[in-house]
Structure 1
Amino acid sequence: MVALIPSIRTISPRLTELFWDVPVSDELLEMKIYILSEISKNFAPSIEDIRSGFKTISIQWKERYGNFGFEEFLANLSLKPTSLDTKTWEIPVCYDLEFGFDLDRLAKLKPITIEEFIHLHSSPTYRIHFIGFLPGFPYLSGLDPKLTTPRKSQPDRAIPSGSVAIGGNQTGIYPQQSPGGWHVIGRTPIRVFNSKASPPVFFEMGDQIKFKPISKEEFEGLKNFNPLQLS
């Protein structure tokens, strides 16, 4: 059982961080989603921004952190069974070397064939633990340990939008072109982030993602399609 009450850190006069010193797990994720919901419901007028990490919740207050009753609120939260209302999304990915420009190098590093690499990456069902560092960038757990690869020592200046990449023991999707230090192994034709849509990102923290390998021809044909919701 994950401890309900996290440690509370004051990062700055207006920034408070909740931290759990436990391994990353679906149980911890469910706890964070529950506490995020409760904080948002009870302290919305005082909050400027609230974000989650793998083991953290960071709260940016509108004013200096003071006697909001926040610590008493956390201490008095009752542990409730959490049933996540989550969705599973199928994301098509083209692993062609034109899109996955680091794939061949990573496969040789392991060493396994490119086909084995694609199979290992597309077989798991991944869980979204939080969204950042770019709007719509999902940090996913569930990567096969065989594919774990340290981030690049020299980041790329421009990783194309839709790139699927590996960094450490995580995999994720670049929602827009950006500098980045993850290893790019493929690309999805699905538009992950759309600033004109409401909401701008179709998935949420706690949702699951399944990658489906596709050909270059299929990639071109799916550019204007929405992601498939499996459940």
Structure 2
Amino acid sequence: MKISSPVYSQITPFMGELNWDFSPCDELLELQVAWIHLLKTQYAKEISEIRQGFTAIGITWKEFDFQQKFISQFKSLSPKRQELSNRIWEIPVCYEAPYGSDLGNLALAKHMRVNELIELHSQPLYRIHFFGFLPGFMYLNGLPEILHMPRKAVPDRSVFPGSVAIGGAQTGIYPMESPGGWHVVGRTPLTLFDPHHDPPVWASIGDRIQFVPISSDEMTELLENPIPPTHR
């Protein structure tokens, strides 16, 4: 798949953005990872922050002149595409009550059985594109279009840590308690973010995620006797 080079836009004297006119996919992520590697190696002293999105990379420069230098060199830069990880993390998820608090209503809205929705949600291999919103919150690509659902008109005041939810064209896992407007379909007993662990997040950009349905009895056992995440 041929993906055109990004366009660089200066937003402020100290901020700019690389943008691709392309839908999120593995090939685009490979290019984004390559550009981030280039920025961190060739411009490390000039950059104060790099932020990644599905189709963009935001850059904050320490000085105005550093951005102008990058703009003058931009068209000559050609980072080598980075191969993505082969790791697949298996995430146990209990879709049963009370963990999948919005599962029934979502199934009704989609005119499908609950078991069908669970099967559709747990079959794909989701790719981690970036982290944001909350520490350890994975932005995943790969939710089947039939499960896309607008966010709630009135967000929940509090969503439990580990809640697996659907919002718009994405699914994700809340790493900590937080207000949230996504539809909660289940919960994982795994800890997604631990500030006392190095690194605090066990997964990386480019890894893949697969949700593995478990029973409420298995959920109780894993909550009482936590296990580390596993991958294959």
TM (norm. structure 1) is 0.94
The letter for the 2-side match of 1:55 is: T
Alignment of 1:90-169 (within 5 A): 90-169=90-169
Q: Do 2:157 and 2:179's aligned partners in 1 also have CA atoms closer than 8 Å?
A: yes
| Structure 2 CA distance for aligned equivalents of residues 74 and 222 of structure 1 | 50
Q: CA deviation at 1:68?
A: 5.3
Q: Which deviations, in whole Å up to 9, do the C-alpha atoms of 1:100-138 show, x marking residues without a partner?
A: 111000001111111111000001111111111111111
| Structure 1 CA distance for aligned equivalents of residues 174 and 197 of structure 2 | 18
Q: CA deviation at 1:200?
A: 0.9
| Structure 2 CA distance for aligned equivalents of residues 203 and 163 of structure 1 | 17
Question: How well do the aligned residues superpose, as a CA RMSD in angstroms?
Answer: 1.5
Tell me the number of residue pairs that the alignment of Structure 1 and Structure 2 aligns.
229
| Structure 1 CA distance for aligned equivalents of residues 65 and 99 of structure 2 | 46
Alignment of 1:63-82 (within 5 A): 63-64=63-64, 66=66, 69-78=69-78, 80-82=80-82
Q: CA deviation at 1:197?
A: 1.1
Q: Do 2:61 and 2:67's aligned partners in 1 also have CA atoms closer than 8 Å?
A: no
Unpaired segments ≥5 residues, structure 1: none
The residue that corresponds to 1:183 in the other structure is 183
Unpaired segments ≥5 residues, structure 2: none
Structure 2 counterpart SS, 1:92: strand
The letter for the 2-side match of 1:229 is: H
Structure 1 counterpart SS, 2:75: helix
The residue that corresponds to 2:230 in the other structure is 228
Structure 1 counterpart SS, 2:126: strand
Alignment of 1:184-199 (within 5 A): 184-199=184-199
Q: CA deviation at 1:81?
A: 4.5
| Structure 1 CA distance for aligned equivalents of residues 60 and 147 of structure 2 | 35
Structure 1 counterpart SS, 2:117: helix
TM (norm. structure 2) is 0.93
| Structure 1 CA distance for aligned equivalents of residues 3 and 129 of structure 2 | 16
The letter for the 1-side match of 2:139 is: Y
The residue that corresponds to 1:2 in the other structure is 3
Q: CA deviation at 1:60?
A: 1.8
The residue that corresponds to 1:48 in the other structure is 48
Q: Do 2:145 and 2:169's aligned partners in 1 also have CA atoms closer than 8 Å?
A: yes
| Structure 2 CA distance for aligned equivalents of residues 170 and 220 of structure 1 | 27
Query: Comparing 30-39 with 56-65, which one deviates more in the overlay?
Result: 56-65
The residue that corresponds to 1:216 in the other structure is 216
| Structure 1 CA distance for aligned equivalents of residues 67 and 172 of structure 2 | 39
Query: Comparing 31-40 with 77-86, which one deviates more in the overlay?
Result: 77-86
Q: Do 2:46 and 2:66's aligned partners in 1 also have CA atoms closer than 8 Å?
A: no
Q: CA deviation at 1:23?
A: 1.6
| Structure 2 CA distance for aligned equivalents of residues 11 and 124 of structure 1 | 37
Indicate yes or no: 2:22 matched with 1:15.
no
